[in-house]
Amino acid sequence: MASNGNENCNANDSVWRFKGNGATSIAAAATLRKLIFGMFKNCNFNNGKTILPSITHTFKTCPEAEEAVAAAVRSGMANSYAPSPGIFKARRAVADYLNGELPKKLKAEDVYITGGCNQAIEIVIDSLAGNPVANILLPRPGYPHYDARAVYSCIEIRKYDLLPQKDWEIDLDDLEAAADENTVAMVLINPNNPCGNVYSYDHLNKVAEMARKLGIVVISDEVYKQVVYGDRPFIPMGIFASVAPVITLGSISKGWVVPGWRIGWMAMNDPNRILKSTGVIQAIEDCLDITPQPSLILQEALPDILEKTPKEFFDKKIKAMRYSVELSCERLKDIPCLLCLKKPESCSYLWVKLDTSMLVDIKNDFEFCMKLVSEESVLLIPGVALGADGWVRISIGTDGSVLDEIFDRLKTFYDRHAISKEPNQLNGRIAMIRKRKIIFLKP
């Protein structure tokens, strides 16, 4: 049949029998990446302002980690495929790294190496997705990769609230009310992105008791374990694994500031072997068999990265974060529509409440962030992307001079969109009258 080349423009009478999988776009709509790249498109690249915060201004990793990767390449030992669960020495090193704080020690076999924490999230969720009516409890606000992967694996999402007035503790009544006999797991993010808190021993103990009562596994995302700078110490959820099974997720992305290296892990804290008897371990190992293994170079380097990084590297970063928090909270006082209820004690964000009643032409957090990026080239994450309308996340893991520039621009933006107060309105009217007079006098 002759073709004029236009058939592919019209889906209805197309000759092609295939089309894109719509399920991926529904899942991808929930991710941060989609949102951030969407916001980049809204950026005005011609206003002479660099986009902030920029990846070139984040903290540097340590030379020991860089050397470990270079040595792995040069060794010639990292050119083949790795076994699906990861190489033994990397699994051993992660177990040792986590064991310091745990009463029941992990064996190397309890650890699986993944392509960053995100791949661990994918594998854990896929491994729990057998029951077609299963549901999972996710925090609000939360980290949207969980939402995206639950949508994609057809697990129903149920949200439980974090309580701002109680240091972002989990609303355990809300969590219990959200659960039913088809609930398989709850996700706990500790240290918490975006709220910046860490949970106390007592609270985690209650979480474990609740998980046991509900008969669910706790997925504990501890990817920010190395970025804790407040007074309260970080407590790993694995400590409570004899109450309810805990799958601990982590990576070097945040602690070592190398998210592009794509290396992380999941650890089965399960002294009562519940994950084994329920077939979850088998499902995880099967999932690992059908997905590419993370780079062997990074697996080879991982033991040295975990063992040879000097404490001073983390100390320096903690000092820098404390400085960033003080500076940011001080500068935020100039921007009355953004309110930080509590100084963060972990992670690298300010999680702030947005008061749109102080702004003339901005209805919600999404509009705030879109206008901000297009007018001032400052990229903040709207709360709606993290499940909480009316909030905004500001990244502050960057140098003081960059933070100053970010807050200067935020102030300019606020002044431009603020509802003018009485005296200003009056000033505005006087200015208009003066203007008219000038026009009147001119001819």
Ligand X SMILES: *Cc1c(COP(=O)(O)O)cnc(C)c1O
Give the residues lining the site for ligand X (CB under 6 A): 116-118, 143, 189, 193, 221, 223, 251, 253-254, 259, 264
Residue 301, phi then psi, degrees to nearest 5: -80, -25
Residue 189 or 216 with smaller CB distance to ligand X? 189
Closest CB 304 distance from ligand X, rounded Å: 18
Residue 190 or 328 with smaller CB distance to ligand X? 190
Residue 116 or 230 with smaller CB distance to ligand X? 116
Hey, what long-range contacts does 125-132 have (CB within 8 A, 24 or more apart)?
A: 125/149, 125/150, 125/153, 125/155, 126/153, 126/283, 126/287, 127/280, 127/283, 127/284, 127/286, 127/287, 128/155, 128/184, 128/185, 128/217, 128/280, 128/283, 129/153, 129/154, 129/155, 130/283, 131/182, 131/184
Burial of 58 (0-12, 13-18, 19+ CB in 10 A): middle
Helix (H) or strand (E) holding 351: strand 349-354
End-to-end CA separation in angstroms for the chain: 74
Integer Cα distance of 81 and 234 in angstroms: 35
Closest CB 90 distance from ligand X, rounded Å: 15
Closest CB 22 distance from ligand X, rounded Å: 26
Residue 255 or 303 with smaller CB distance to ligand X? 255
Map tokens 């909030």 to a residue.
391
Closest CB 129 distance from ligand X, rounded Å: 19
Q: Which residues pair with 418 in a beta bridge?
A: 359
Q: Say how many CA atoms lie within 13 Å of 17 toward its Cβ.
A: 0
Closest CB 221 distance from ligand X, rounded Å: 5
- Token duo for residue 314: 């983390």
CA angle 424, 340, 57 (to 5 degrees): 100
Residue 95 or 189 with smaller CB distance to ligand X? 189
Residue 293 or 377 with smaller CB distance to ligand X? 293
Q: Looking at beta carbons, which residue is closest to ligand X?
A: 116
Closest CB 356 distance from ligand X, rounded Å: 26
- Token duo for residue 113: 């190496």
Residue 188 or 332 with smaller CB distance to ligand X? 188
Closest CB 260 distance from ligand X, rounded Å: 9
